[in-house]
Structure 1
Amino acid sequence: MMVPALAAAPSDSFISRALNKPVPGGVAVVDLGNGVEPPKATYQGKPVLVVKEQGNRWLAIVGVSLTVKPGSQQLAVRDASGSRNLSFVVGDKKYPEQRITLKNQRQVNPDPNDLKRIESELALQIQAYRSFSPGTPSNLILDKPVNGPLSSKFGVRRFFNGEERNPHSGLDFAVPAGTPIKSPAAGKVILIGNYFFNGNTVFVDHGQGFISMFCHMSKIDVKVGDAVPRGGVVGRVGSTGRATGPHMHWNVSLNDARVDPAIFIGAFQP
């Protein structure tokens, strides 16, 4: 029987100090040790972003979904020395509630035709979130896609017309319609579409399962397959889909787990 070793994020690591927020909806930075070749790591059966820092030290940047319960979690690692499990600890975090009134009742309780559309659109978006390209992200400390105040935080429990729905999976910025949305890191456009809930939407793959999604856009300025530089404009702020007004909604995903984008822009609040 393989006994997991307890892994700790290196305290002297810049990446760890910036990104290690191991809570539901957060990020765990796990030290994988030294080596010439990059280790492979998986969490809950999905490949994990691995980067090099400080010589030959390798770090796993693990997305922890909102559904993960506090406690010990297992990271499977394979490198030149063989396979092993590393254990890391997820703490607790409480998220606030938000109550939203929508005039369009179909956006709260979709009709049967809407549900068919939503199901097919969700399958496309899940496939995009599960993309895992081999490249190393251009930067892990991300730029804000727009400059403006936050209007809704990540993880908020949302009630639409009094009915609870999925927690808020990204950050909302209060900025005017037409504001350019800039990619927070270099990447490749892997999906665009106009969706029931998200409206005009763009997915950008930054590498190794590190994905940005922007939605409710008034205009999309890219196409699938485009290489987008850091700071490149992907579209314009709008209020398409399920939105009460113009704003910029930004999701960040790691290993198919939606995590708090505030972590990557230095705005995380425990």
Structure 2
Amino acid sequence: MKIRSLYFYCLSLCLLLCFSAFASTPLCKTNPIQGGIVILQIAKITQTKPRVYFHDLPVMTLKKNKQWVAVIGIPLTQKPGRLSIKVETPRSTKQEFFSIKHHHYQTEYITIKKSSTSRPNKKFLQRYTRERKMMKALLNHWSNRTPASLHFYRPAQGRISGRFGLERYFNGVLSSRHRGIDIAAAEGTKVHAASNGIVLNTGRYLFTGKTIFIDHGQGLITLYCHLSKILVKKGQVVRHGAVIGNIGHTGRATGPHLHWGVYLNRTSVSPTLFL
């Protein structure tokens, strides 16, 4: 009886290990444009997991259909054309090539009279510089954990009031690119974690107000801005769909909304590719 039980235990363990070896992470959509995502097959699953780099930065590598694939975030400022990644294995180093296309994002032109603008004071600039450095470090974070899924839960219900990639010009000069989407909703509307992850940090910032950063693994970070309340703490494990805060208009915001951003290999990418 013991031998039979041991046999079934070993058989179950073998099946579990085989399934794990070929289990795939559900992937996001692809769009080979500036601010988009490219997914490339780079090696067979039977090979050791490769290390992949794009612009000398580590790239997410996942299992898909018995292949290793690289999931590459393309910067909004990337020039269109032929690009490459470096793929390293214990036996070799090679390049894989791909191309991206130019994409014309929505533009907004604002004219401001010089008399209506004021020069920010020293205290403001010091805080802005300090917070920008902190946020950059958080968005550049890398952990080796494999993301549970690249199919995300919509973080809030409401109207899309700001599109990803919007180029804003002040007095004819490009001032900023919108690195996320805005979801307008009533103050207090629940905000949900887009996927499983660990709360990397929370804080109140000059421009983004009350903000949450969630690490989903391998350079995939989501942030949730302008919240009225933060309901999670640094280091907390969250499940997809969990309530993490409430919509507000803290920071620089003209009305209650959620600014939701997605960052991959240190660059902002279109959140809609994950929905």
TM-score by length of 1: 0.86
Structure 2 match to 1:117: 127
- What secondary structure does 1:121 align onto? helix
Encode CA deviations 1:15-64: one digit per residue, 9 max, x unaligned: 67x52211111111111120332211111111111110112x01111000
- Provide the rounded CA distance (Å) in 2 between the counterparts of 1:243 and 1:100: 17
1:81, distance to aligned residue in structure 2 (A): 3.0
Question: 1:44 is aligned with what amino acid?
Answer: H
Cα separation, partners in 2 of 1:205 and 1:108, compared to 1, 3 Å: farther
Stretch moving more, 181-190 or 36-45: 36-45
In 2, the alpha carbon distance for the partners of 1:242 and 1:161 equals: 20
Aligned position for 1:194: 204
Q: Which runs of 5+ in 1 are unaligned?
A: 1-12, 266-270
Q: How does 1:58-73 map to 2 (within 5 A)?
A: 58-73=68-83
Give yes or no for contact 1:108–1:161 (8 Å, CA) kept in 2: no
The equivalent residue for 1:242 is 252
Q: Report the Cα offset of residue 92 of structure 1.
A: 0.9
CA deviations 1:193-212 (Å, max 9, x no partner) are 11111111110000000000
- 1:150 paired residue among 160, 163, 167: 160
Residue 49 (structure 1) aligned to one of 60, 80, 91: 60
Matched residue, 1:81: 91
1:93 aligns with 2:103: yes
CA contact (8 A) 2:26 2:149 kept: no
Q: Hey, what's the Cα distance between the residues in 1 that align with 2:116 and 2:132? A: 17
Alpha-carbon distance between aligned partners in 2 of 1:185 and 1:148, rounded to the nearest angstrom: 19
- C-alpha distance in 1, partners of 2:117/2:101? 34
Provide, for residues 111-147 of structure 1, a one-character-per-residue CA deviation record: whole Å limited to 9, x for no partner.
3221111111111111111111111111101111012
| Distance in 2 of aligned mates of 1:178 and 1:164 | 33
Q: Contact 1:131–1:209 at 8 Å: present in 2 too?
A: yes
Pair 127,107 (structure 1): closer, same or farther in 2 beyond 3 Å:
farther
* Structure 2 counterparts to residues 152-191 of structure 1, below 5 A: 152-159=162-169, 164-191=174-201
Pick closer, same or farther for the CA change 1:226–1:194 going to 2, 3 Å: same
Provide closer, same or farther for how the CA distance between residues 236 and 67 of structure 1 changes in structure 2, counting only shifts above 3 A.
same
Secondary structure of the residue aligned to 1:166 is strand
The alignment's C-alpha RMSD in Å is 2.4
Q: Normalising to structure 2: TM-score of the pair?
A: 0.84
Match of 2:42 in 1: 32
Larger-Rg structure: 2
Q: Give, as a single letter, the amino acid of the residue that structure 2 aligns with 1:97.
A: T
Distance in 1 of aligned mates of 2:106 and 2:214: 28
Q: CA deviation at 1:181?
A: 0.8
Secondary structure (helix, strand or coil) at the match of 1:128 reads helix
Of 216, 220, 225, which residue of structure 2 is paired with 1:210? Answer: 220
Q: Which structure dedicates a bigger proportion of its chain to helix? A: 2
Residues of 2 paired with 1:69 and 1:108: CA distance?
A: 34
Partner residue in 2 for 1:5: none
Cross-structure match for 2:144: 134
> In structure 2, do the counterparts of structure 1 residues 243 and 203 end up closer, same or farther at CA, with 3 Å as the change threshold?
same
Instruction: Verify the 8 A CA contact 2:25 2:147 in the aligned structure 1.
Output: no
2: CA distance, partners of 1:111 / 1:134: 41
1:21 aligns with 2:28: no
